[in-house]
């Protein structure tokens, strides 16, 4: 059995429950869902879905960096939206962080997210 390595970044929001920002097992890194929380204030960033999505990707970027990884190692993205009408905007923001070939992805409409966020995103990355 592979050992687990817990990943934490001060540049990403602190976990608001009994979970880690990320866990690495072997060459696979599992990132918990990030919402558009400003890590400096612990508050939801003000703004539209584009602003919120960018903050989420910045938070994810900080956790990836703490693990020695980047978006090029991401193999799966899970996106949770409170309004699927925001799908196209989130796609445009996502393109700023990823390049082809893009990772696998699912996008799921949800009734609500913590702190009234409009978007939450989790990732799985694999190291070569």
Compute the distance between CA of residue 117 and CA of residue 37 in angstroms, rounded to an integer. Answer: 8
Q: What is the DSSP string of 48-81?
A: -HHHHHHHHHHHHHHHHHHTT--GGGEEEEEEEE
Q: Are the beta carbons of 31 and 76 closer than 8 angstroms? A: no
pTM over 0.75: yes
Kindly tell me if the per-residue pLDDT of 1 is higher than 90.
Answer: no
Sign of CA dihedral 67, 71, 73, 74: positive
Structure token digits, residue 31? 């990132």
For 89-116, how does the pLDDT look when each residue is reduced to its tens digit (9 = 90+)?
A: 999 999 999 999 999 999 999 999 999 9
Compute the distance between CA of residue 82 and CA of residue 36 in angstroms, rounded to an integer. Answer: 13
């Amino acid at each position: 059995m592979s050992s687990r390595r817990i990943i934490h970044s001060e540049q990403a929001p602190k976990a608001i429950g009994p979970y880690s920002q990320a866990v690495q097992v072997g060459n696979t890194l599992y990132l918990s869902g990030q919402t558009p929380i400003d890590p400096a204030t612990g508050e939801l960033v003000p703004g539209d879905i584009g602003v919120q999505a960018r903050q989420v990707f910045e938070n994810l970027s900080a956790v990836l960096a703490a693990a020695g990884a980047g978006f090029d190692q991401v193999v799966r993205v899970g996106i949770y939206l409170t309004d699927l009408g925001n799908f196209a905007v989130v796609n445009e923001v996502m393109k700023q962080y990823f390049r082809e070939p893009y990772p696998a992805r699912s996008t799921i409409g949800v009734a609500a997210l913590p702190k009234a966020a409009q978007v939450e995103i989790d990732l799985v990355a694999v190291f070569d």
